[in-house]
Amino acid sequence: MKRNSTLVLLLVSLVLTSLAIDHLYACTRVVYKGLDRTIFTARSMDWKGEIPANLWVFPRGMTREGEAGSSSVKWKSKYGSVITSSWDIASSDGMNEKGLVGNLLWLAESGFPDYEKDSDQPVLALSLWLQYVLDNFATVAEAVEFLEKETFVVASANIPGTDRFATVHLSISDASGDNAIFEYIDGKLEIHHDESYVTMTNSPVFEEQLAINTYWKGIPGTIMLPGTNRAADRFVRASYYIDAIPKTDNTRVALSSVFGVIRNCSVPLGISSEDEPNISSTRWRTVSDQKNLVYYFDNVLNPNVVWVEFDKLDFSEKGDVKMLPLAKNENYSGESSMSFKEAKPFAFAGLE
């Protein structure tokens, strides 16, 4: 009887969690670990409206600042990267030349620290959070060791042109398969660092996502998997399928399998609900090959997947900033490094 009562409580908790996340935007991120150091990180970007994206090549040696006035963190990039921008005001996804991948996903429960303009506390605008990590670190362990010291705080503001306050969490993975999740909850940085943290969605906070997944592991996925578009259900499906697909060092098979998983967790274009804004159409997907250093971009409004091979790019300090325009659904196919054009770097959204 006690066991049945516990099961009922678990189910009630899961239902309440699913209801709570009905007011969120949706994304999914998952990491595949194959044979012989074959590592892929995939993510979907789901948003209720258009979220224009372009691909950018950033070389080493770029001088940056945290877009927070005189309190801004300042640095010079150690590593080059390929990133996907959102509205050309933030880096929302990308991989650097060492195979470190970063992904920003929405998290309504985020609570970023308060900050005082022009104070002694160094500050980094949220729009640069992912780019700071790609610029400065080669591995997850390096990033965790530095960021847990909290030499600066990350602060947020409204998305420019809207009344929506930006709330996200950051996942990173590296070429060894290590993983970490960074979340600001009630103004405090929480770091979840473990090789096993291969899956992340939106709400709830990551610790609760793990608890929900633990429950579903007791139900064989070959018998039943949750099928809705809600974040908790996508987390369970991604966790199950990324473990079920073949573990291989065949790049073509692994890539196809990983794309299959992230597409399984996507929402068809045109599906949305005023009552359930978390059910937002998938706008684009990326897959990062961290062994071979290839970055794939899949725009749902374009039938072709495009990719860029890092060995065809110049990441040196003498290299140019380049951009591959995708925001207007430009048509490319296959390896597209030659289609990147020299461009002025976009301006990251600031806090002022």
Q: Which residues are catalytic?
A: 27
Task: Count Cα atoms within 13 angstroms, Cβ side, for 27.
Answer: 25
Find the radius of gyration of the CA atoms of the chain.
Answer: 20
Q: Under a CB-based contact definition with an 8 Å cutoff, are residues 80 and 97 in contact?
A: yes
What is the C-alpha separation between 295 and 310, in angstroms, rounded? 8
Strands (E), the chain: 27-33, 39-46, 55-58, 63-65, 74-76, 81-86, 90-96, 101-106, 123-125, 153-155, 168-173, 179-185, 188-193, 199-200, 282-289, 294-299, 305-309, 322-324, 334-335, 341-342
What is the C-alpha separation between 73 and 80, in angstroms, rounded? 19
Alpha carbon distances (Å) from 213 to 45, 136, 216, 266, 275:
21, 32, 5, 19, 26
β-pairing, 282-289 vs 294-299, is: antiparallel
- DSSP character string of 39-96: EEEEEEEE-SS-----EEEE-TT-EEE-SBTBTB-EEE-SS-EEEEEETTTEEEEEEE
What is the C-alpha separation between 200 and 186, in angstroms, rounded? 20
Backbone angles phi, psi at 77, to 5 degrees: -65, 130
Burial class (CB in 10 A: 0-12, 13-18, 19+), 125: buried
